[in-house]
Structure 1
Amino acid sequence: MSRRVRTSLLAAALALPLLAAAPDQGSGDRPRTGFETSNGARWTTQSEEQHFLAAVDRASGRVAVDRIGTTRQGRPLELVRIGAPRAANTLLLICAQHGDEPSGREACLTTVRDLAYAEDQRTLRFLKRTTVLLVPTANPDGRAADTRGNADSVDINRDHITLATAEGRALAAVIRDHRPDTVYDLHEYGSTSPYYDKDLLTLWPRNLNTADAVHGEAKTLSEQYVRPAAGAAGHSTGIYGIWTDPVTGDPVRQVAGDGQERILRNTAGVKHSVGLLVETRVDPLTDAEQADPALNNRRRVHSQLAALDGAFAFTGERRGRIEAATTAARLAGYADRGPVALGGADNDPAEPAETIQDPPCGYRLTAAQYARTGDELALHGVVVRREGAGAYVPLRQSLRALVPLLLDERAAYHLTAGQPDTSC
């Protein structure tokens, strides 16, 4: 086993309640989730989440809980900050974008508490150098209804470009304002036996506009930290979207996991964060899990917690490399050089028609276009110069590759078709 597979920063300080044989072991006076008090028999309700977060916030000076939006049905979207508020390295956990995938949310909630109450020096040193941000429930309406989409049946994880949902807009503002070095997105998936049935799957940004060093760190997070950490805890792992032969382990076909810029792991890469998607298997693994849903639920959450161990180890051990990669990527756009990919992926080269080989200097927007898209551009953090009633969006900026994805008529999910400026 690689030396990088370390004891978790959290587990070093605390015996995680999820791993306890009985629901009341080792918890003391610390707040507990509905999932924990039921020993996995049910998921934490929204009201339980609210009381849990409020209790943690009151009990720990290193925790702050802020409301970052409101869903269509009036539920709060909340951001939890733990640790140094202005640290050089920021890790963002996004939980439950899909409302019917609850295991990541439970792992995030207990992680909030365990970091808040940790007293060991290793974790305290980590929190002095790291800002940990969590959105415990990114889709509260979907979680309440146990649906993939939000109250309007929109898949939030396909809304990170157009920002048509309150949930997508809130997450975009968090990424704009905090510029996380790592964006870790927790999901669940349904298996297809025998080709697609691992306990836990991961995938990095495949979008071709992700800077090479950021892409490399994302693969390192997946392959040298998260998957080995889950494996060390007894869970099988694989690559999301790739069916493999159960005997040889060779790829059979790709069924998901492309380079669409509107998916969070890809949006994160385009915005110069080390993105990672993590998917836990929903289906029971054994006859015992089939007979006892609580046992299946605990395994799902345990696999998420084990994978999170790897994410924290990655952040602690590679912070210098991570910060160098994300900082260089954020500065590279000011040089305004190189093509912009409108399609393809890191395992699927873009066709000539999917590549802007010689991008324009920028895009001009009419007054009507800017009125329709100005808020979204601002939420993305795109630099815009007003020109009379309209606007000009230069490519020479940190989010250089994002601009054509938003404003070029050839981009699959563009906000509007701006007028290319080729005068440079």
Structure 2
Amino acid sequence: MKPRIPLRVRTLALTLSAAALAVPLVNAPAEAAHTPLPRTGFETSNGARWTGQPEEQAFLAAVDRGSKRTSIGRIGTTKQGRPLQLVRIGAQHASHTVLLICSQHGDEPSGRDACLSTIRDLAYAKDRNTERLLARTRILVVPTANPDGRAANTRGNSDGVDINRDHIALKTAEGRATAAVIRDQRPDVIYDLHEYGATPPYYDKDLFDLWPRNLNTDAGVHRESQALSGQYVRPAAHHGGFSTGTYGIWTDPVTGDPIKQTAGDGQERILRNASGVKNAVGLLIESRVDPLTEEERADSSLNNRRRVGSQLSALGGLLSFTEERRDRLEATTTAARLSGFRDRGPVYLGGADNDPATPEETLQDPPCGYRLDAAQYADIKDELALHGVVSWPAGNDGAFVPLRQSQRELIPLLLDSRATYHLAPGQAITAC
């Protein structure tokens, strides 16, 4: 039996997919007949090229001027001086928040162009479903999470750093900006848009996705992340005519059975996992870069439109999930954030939801906190603050970081010497 596709999934997915084909929006306002809506460089070229950085700035400025639903702010600056921006759409004081992080890898542009046209579509939409969504939800978008990498068409930033491996250390301007947004805006959902290279016939879908695998993800957050994938994003993509699968898992093309895992572990420094550890529902989405047909090989614009179209179909599922499960989502993320104050249960320094942690990777009885000396605290206090971790002064300018707080499970990953990506080897304090 095929998964049920809710009506709102179909409505929103069809509205959003119009942008990928560079045709007029289904729900464009009447005044658009006299004043054309802003269009991206991708759209004006019908997919022949990706939107340039100056075009992005002009496009966002036009949307900001033309819609009362949107506001645009600067959240950082790259090493080469390009702006890192956050677009806010919808109810600015709503308690329910969704965050889109677009193209952390600069050579994966389809998610970025999908995000740009989605910003415009939401800003100008007049249909009842979208207006209802935006009346109760804040949608935040970082349209280009790696502007220097996008300008150079490189995976990493201008220093060659993969910013999707910097969500613990926070050494890059890009990683720090994202951490600050997560800390300050407290999103219920973090949706991370990427692309991948296919390996036929074992790894060859239009779209792959993956939820937080890190074992420190709250059980309710983990369930909602899997529901976002299996009940909304994948059915919406299928309705759009796109195939889907689980990121990082090769499958037998005949039986569909998994063969081996090649990516998608529980590393806490990856945004998908950092989202879960920080008590937000998370999902990674990956569209297929490689041409599917001889026509796409001969005409890159066809391939590009498919790549963006698949991202837009999946985004329709995300928006439907956001609206239909809003109350459940808020209850789940609130409970996860409060659970840290109970200070109970193990913390895992390794493993994943498909790879049980070993005894050596499990803090079955975690310490009540970690002591940092003055030098350690001076070195990492900014990163602790960006992560939203609370610390207390502790003599001679050092600090004590208690586990009894919202970010409980994150703290050992930052401060335990056994954690793979720890910032400093804090002294575990067992009696407080």
TM-score range, shorter chain: over 0.9
The aligned residue for residue 2 of structure 1 is: 3
The answer (yes or no) to whether the contact 1:92–1:182 under 8 Å persists in 2 is yes
Question: What are the superposed Cα offsets for residues 256-287 of structure 1, whole Å, 9 maximum, x if unpaired?
Answer: 00000000010000000000000000000111
Letter in 2 for 1:418: G
Aligned CA distance change for structure 1 residues 334 and 419 (closer, same or farther; 3 Å):
same
The partner residue of 1:408 within 405, 416, 430 is 416
The answer (yes or no) to whether the contact 1:10–1:115 under 8 Å persists in 2 is no
The answer (yes or no) to whether the contact 2:206–2:243 under 8 Å persists in 1 is yes
Kindly tell me the number of residue pairs found equivalent between the two proteins. Answer: 423
Letter in 1 for 2:205: K
Letter in 2 for 1:3: R
Letter in 2 for 1:281: R
Cα offset, 1:18, TM superposition: 2.0
> Aligned ranges for residues 157-306 of structure 1 at < 5 Å?
157-306=164-313
> Aligned ranges for residues 48-67 of structure 1 at < 5 Å?
48-67=55-74
The aligned residue for residue 343 of structure 1 is: 350
Cα offset, 1:75, TM superposition: 0.3
SS in 2 for 1:16: helix
The aligned residue for residue 109 of structure 2 is: 102
SS in 2 for 1:174: helix
Aligned CA distance change for structure 1 residues 21 and 317 (closer, same or farther; 3 Å):
closer
Cα offset, 1:119, TM superposition: 1.3
Does residue 40 of the first structure (1) align with residue 43 of the second (2)? no
Looking at structure 2, the residues matched to 19 and 51 of structure 1 have their Cα atoms a distance apart, in angstroms, of 21
The answer (yes or no) to whether the contact 1:242–1:255 under 8 Å persists in 2 is yes
Question: What are the superposed Cα offsets for residues 86-126 of structure 1, whole Å, 9 maximum, x if unpaired?
Answer: 21211100001000000000000000000000112221111
Cα offset, 1:22, TM superposition: 9.1
Cα offset, 1:13, TM superposition: 5.8
SS in 1 for 2:418: coil
Cα offset, 1:317, TM superposition: 0.6
Cα offset, 1:153, TM superposition: 0.3
SS in 1 for 2:190: strand
The answer (yes or no) to whether the contact 2:18–2:24 under 8 Å persists in 1 is no
Looking at structure 2, the residues matched to 36 and 21 of structure 1 have their Cα atoms a distance apart, in angstroms, of 9
**Identity between Structure 1 and Structure 2 (%):** 70
The aligned residue for residue 392 of structure 1 is: 400
Cα offset, 1:240, TM superposition: 0.1
Cα offset, 1:192, TM superposition: 0.4
Letter in 2 for 1:296: N
The aligned residue for residue 421 of structure 1 is: 429
Letter in 2 for 1:140: P
Question: What are the superposed Cα offsets for residues 214-258 of structure 1, whole Å, 9 maximum, x if unpaired?
Answer: 000000000111011101111010000000000000000000000
Q: Name stretches of at least 5 consecutive residues in structure 2 with no aligned partner.
A: none
SS in 2 for 1:66: strand
Cα offset, 1:5, TM superposition: 3.8
The aligned residue for residue 325 of structure 1 is: 332
Cα offset, 1:414, TM superposition: 0.4
The aligned residue for residue 19 of structure 1 is: 21
Looking at structure 1, the residues matched to 15 and 38 of structure 2 have their Cα atoms a distance apart, in angstroms, of 17
TM-score, length basis structure 2: 0.95
Letter in 2 for 1:392: F
Looking at structure 2, the residues matched to 257 and 42 of structure 1 have their Cα atoms a distance apart, in angstroms, of 30
Runs of 4+ in 1 over 6 A off after TM superposition: none
The aligned residue for residue 313 of structure 1 is: 320
Looking at structure 1, the residues matched to 213 and 343 of structure 2 have their Cα atoms a distance apart, in angstroms, of 22
SS in 1 for 2:86: strand
Cα offset, 1:14, TM superposition: 7.0
SS in 1 for 2:7: coil
Aligned CA distance change for structure 1 residues 13 and 54 (closer, same or farther; 3 Å):
same
Letter in 2 for 1:337: R
The partner residue of 1:361 within 337, 361, 368 is 368
SS in 1 for 2:417: coil
Aligned CA distance change for structure 1 residues 273 and 201 (closer, same or farther; 3 Å):
same
Letter in 1 for 2:376: Q
SS in 1 for 2:335: helix
Question: What are the superposed Cα offsets for residues 313-370 of structure 1, whole Å, 9 maximum, x if unpaired?
Answer: 1001111111111011000000001110000000000001111111111001111111
What's the RMSD between the two structures over aligned residues? 1.6
Cα offset, 1:2, TM superposition: 3.3
TM-score, length basis structure 1: 0.97
Cα offset, 1:4, TM superposition: 3.5
Looking at structure 2, the residues matched to 64 and 18 of structure 1 have their Cα atoms a distance apart, in angstroms, of 23
The answer (yes or no) to whether the contact 2:12–2:130 under 8 Å persists in 1 is yes
Aligned CA distance change for structure 1 residues 11 and 278 (closer, same or farther; 3 Å):
closer
SS in 1 for 2:360: helix
